[in-house]
Chain A
């Protein structure tokens, strides 16, 4: 293909007119850091971050459930039952997945993502009611979940079923995106897919009218587990 010649042509054209390279970006990063250091939630207590997370997520039609480590499984299981969920996709190997499975009402089927997507694509698209994921962390300022899908909880768990339920620990809530990226050292090792989720799928493509449930999950529930806040604060 013309690919190789084009590479040289494009790079050549750019190099002919490019200014002398100035790759050092430390000053730029210092400015970025300084700008974000003013963020209003930087000095907030974990409880305040959780409150803000709840407030912002609720404003984009996310159902937020505040709970603690002991009570959330029963609370969530009851809510799933009320919503009529019958088939729930989750990773039973994680402590949270196992706790939820143990609390589920009889008749609700929990199952794991045990084979490659292409082996059961159509069934995933048509027969799964909800997917449960454990968020790596959260971002309070924008009401955002940080999901790092892995072999146990692949990308489509939070994407294809009409209901996505995520659990996030209050102690993992960052003030803002900049803080999340730095304290988790994203640049040192990005997963194949890191997804920031800030509400259920939506669109305003028809006459600027907001509608939920465009292509992704139409509903998002977020369980914020208050864990050891006092110790952290």
Chain B
């Protein structure tokens, strides 16, 4: 495929990209339509509010049980996998994960990797790493394939090409797929994609997939999909590598049943997807297909930082359904690319600071009105708004302050001036005499209110104190302060 690296952007340039995205009428229209579509599909799946709330309680409890026992479960999961003949690898960060996968490829003399959908592989930017070393990675999920052809990154974790119109995809296929005339007919486009990728499955040396859920007791990987590319990637090539975050494991196979139902109903509004692909080890003796070699790569990449803090640990409850972004007024208006992170939207805002550090992501955590829609739809009840507030606090904490579990990039938004203002304000608020004096001064000196008030006046009229304070007005009416 393309040897050039994709166009990577930095989450630190979030503010600039937001302005651009908000002016992009085509993007606004397509995002609006997509969000309404996904919201309706989801709500149709939950006609019974009691059932939904009970299932959410259950989902939360299952994920919390798994996280509470995570180190032991990972050890158990590893043992289950090894008993099945799966090789288990541990990666502290993106570089290690890539190096592990590259070494597996090198050892087997592999030249090509066909990929089922994997956000973890996006997170470590596997394709980029491999192509620099002469190994082709071909995305086989239709959405991922489109995004790869366009040399972009996914704008949504479930629907990677959500931002693209059929006209854009028609032009893209005409340009890249030989013998494909321009069309906007979706069936024709999907058939063209199918034809283009068919041989890739047969030819690839390695199939790489993500993992939706993993069971520690049986060593089963539970993959959820509609297209069949995940099954092909994990069945046809001789080697299967699964890349997963360490938080994905649960204690028992039976714990996955409610989670899988929550996932498909919340994500795409389906009672179940076309395929639930449950993989328990590589090809066994006597079997005629399936990979003969299987690897599981367990990825940390900042997850242990989230885990270390009792409040922030809830971030890891996530089952990656994308419902939070589908219901987020900010995501709907700016689209997934504006964030510049692998995971956009509300979940992206609370997980990315752990993956990339607050120095890169401090602006992201402010991009929320804290309206709470995300928490209301989250199938595992992650309290996203309160986690955002917490991350804002950490971003504004004095970098020099010693705390128990410091976050990477603590104090990225810290400003001494701002701290001084807040100190003065809270001091004045706590002392009635000072507060009265300040009030008197502010109302009398209102003509001197500055016309430029930092960020506030960039989009709004300057704030000017009222002529008289509320207390003064009340006193005039004969009501005591």
Give A residues with C-beta under 8 Å from B: 1-4, 6-7, 9-11, 13-19, 21-23, 25, 28-29, 31-32, 35-36, 38, 56, 60, 113, 115-118, 121-122, 125, 141-144, 149-151, 154-156, 159-160, 177-178, 181-182, 186-187, 190-209, 211-217
Please name all residues of chain B whose beta carbon is closer than 8 Å to the beta carbon of A195 when the two chains form the complex. Answer: 231, 275-278
Q: How far is the CB of A7 from chain B (nearest CB, A)?
A: 4
- Interchain CA distance A62-B170 in the complex, whole Å: 28
Chain A proximity mask over B243-279: 1 for CB below 8 Å, otherwise 0: 0001000011111011011000000100111111111
- Interchain CA distance A125-B103 in the complex, whole Å: 29
Please name all residues of chain B whose beta carbon is closer than 8 Å to the beta carbon of A212 when the two chains form the complex. Answer: 187
Chain B's closest residue to A19 (CB) is B68
| Chain A to chain B contacts (Cβ below 8 Å), 16 pairs | A10-B304, A25-B252, A28-B65, A32-B255, A116-B289, A159-B235, A186-B254, A187-B253, A190-B220, A192-B280, A192-B281, A195-B231, A195-B275, A195-B278, A208-B162, A212-B187
Spot the interface stretch: B135-143, B355-363, B458-466.
B135-143
Please name all residues of chain A whose beta carbon is closer than 8 Å to the beta carbon of B289 when the two chains form the complex. Answer: 113, 116-117, 149, 154-156
Q: Are A214 and B190 in contact (CB under 8 A)?
A: yes
Q: Are A201 and B287 in contact (CB under 8 A)?
A: no
Q: How far is the CB of A170 from chain B (nearest CB, A)?
A: 20
Q: Are A14 and B304 in contact (CB under 8 A)?
A: yes
Q: Are A199 and B274 in contact (CB under 8 A)?
A: yes
Q: How far is the CB of A59 from chain B (nearest CB, A)?
A: 10
Q: Are B190 and A206 in contact (CB under 8 A)?
A: yes
* A10-B298, A11-B71, A206-B166 as given contacts; A215 in contact with B232, CB under 8 Å: yes
Chain B's closest residue to A118 (CB) is B238
- Interchain CA distance A201-B225 in the complex, whole Å: 9
B75 within 8 A of A: yes
B32 within 8 A of A: no
What 7 pairs across the A-B complex have the smallest Cβ distances?
A216-B228, A205-B143, A214-B227, A117-B289, A196-B276, A13-B304, A190-B280
Please name all residues of chain B whose beta carbon is closer than 8 Å to the beta carbon of A206 when the two chains form the complex. Answer: 142, 146, 161, 164, 166, 169, 186, 189-190
The A-contacting residues of B in range 43-72, CB under 8 angstroms, are: 51, 54-55, 58, 61-62, 65, 68-72
B453 within 8 A of A: no
Q: How far is the CB of B402 from chain A (nearest CB, A)?
A: 17
Please name all residues of chain A whose beta carbon is closer than 8 Å to the beta carbon of B277 when the two chains form the complex. Answer: 193, 195-196
Q: Are A32 and B58 in contact (CB under 8 A)?
A: yes
Chain A's closest residue to B261 (CB) is A177
User: How many residue pairs bridge A and B at CB < 8 Å?
Assistant: 276
- Interchain CA distance A32-B63 in the complex, whole Å: 13
B8 within 8 A of A: no
Q: Are A31 and B307 in contact (CB under 8 A)?
A: no
Q: Are B287 and A187 in contact (CB under 8 A)?
A: no
- Interchain CA distance A144-B246 in the complex, whole Å: 30
Of A60, A203, A209, the residue contacting B166 (CB under 8 A) is A209
Please name all residues of chain B whose beta carbon is closer than 8 Å to the beta carbon of A186 when the two chains form the complex. Answer: 218, 253-254
- Interchain CA distance A142-B276 in the complex, whole Å: 12
Please name all residues of chain A whose beta carbon is closer than 8 Å to the beta carbon of B235 when the two chains form the complex. Answer: 155-156, 159, 193
- Interchain CA distance A122-B201 in the complex, whole Å: 10
B110 within 8 A of A: no
Q: Are A216 and B166 in contact (CB under 8 A)?
A: no
- Interchain CA distance A141-B92 in the complex, whole Å: 41
Chain A's closest residue to B57 (CB) is A31
- Interchain CA distance A197-B274 in the complex, whole Å: 6
Q: Are B308 and A16 in contact (CB under 8 A)?
A: yes
Of B161, B164, B227, the residue contacting A202 (CB under 8 A) is B227
5 extra interface residue pairs, beta carbon distance < 8 Å, beyond A7-B90, A15-B71, A206-B142: A117-B290, A190-B220, A205-B227, A209-B186, A216-B274
Please name all residues of chain A whose beta carbon is closer than 8 Å to the beta carbon of B100 when the two chains form the complex. Answer: 1-3
Chain A proximity mask over B225-241: 1 for CB below 8 Å, otherwise 0: 01111011001101000
B126 within 8 A of A: no
Q: Are B228 and A211 in contact (CB under 8 A)?
A: no
Q: Are A205 and B142 in contact (CB under 8 A)?
A: yes
- Interchain CA distance A181-B103 in the complex, whole Å: 37
* A14-B304, A214-B227 as given contacts; A125 in contact with B290, CB under 8 Å: no
B417 within 8 A of A: no
Q: Are B254 and A187 in contact (CB under 8 A)?
A: yes
Q: Are B253 and A190 in contact (CB under 8 A)?
A: yes
Please name all residues of chain B whose beta carbon is closer than 8 Å to the beta carbon of A14 when the two chains form the complex. Answer: 70-71, 74, 246, 304, 307
- Interchain CA distance A14-B49 in the complex, whole Å: 36
Chain B's closest residue to A59 (CB) is B271
B390 within 8 A of A: no
Q: Are B274 and A200 in contact (CB under 8 A)?
A: yes
Chain A's closest residue to B199 (CB) is A125
Q: Are B287 and A217 in contact (CB under 8 A)?
A: no
Q: Are B202 and A125 in contact (CB under 8 A)?
A: yes
Q: Are A21 and B69 in contact (CB under 8 A)?
A: yes
- Interchain CA distance A175-B228 in the complex, whole Å: 25
B384 within 8 A of A: no
Please name all residues of chain B whose beta carbon is closer than 8 Å to the beta carbon of A115 when the two chains form the complex. Answer: 288
- Interchain CA distance A213-B191 in the complex, whole Å: 7
Please name all residues of chain B whose beta carbon is closer than 8 Å to the beta carbon of A10 when the two chains form the complex. Answer: 74, 90, 92, 246, 298, 300, 304
Q: Are A205 and B159 in contact (CB under 8 A)?
A: yes
- Interchain CA distance A3-B38 in the complex, whole Å: 40
Please name all residues of chain A whose beta carbon is closer than 8 Å to the beta carbon of B99 when the two chains form the complex. Answer: 1-2
Chain B's closest residue to A60 (CB) is B274
Chain B's closest residue to A198 (CB) is B272
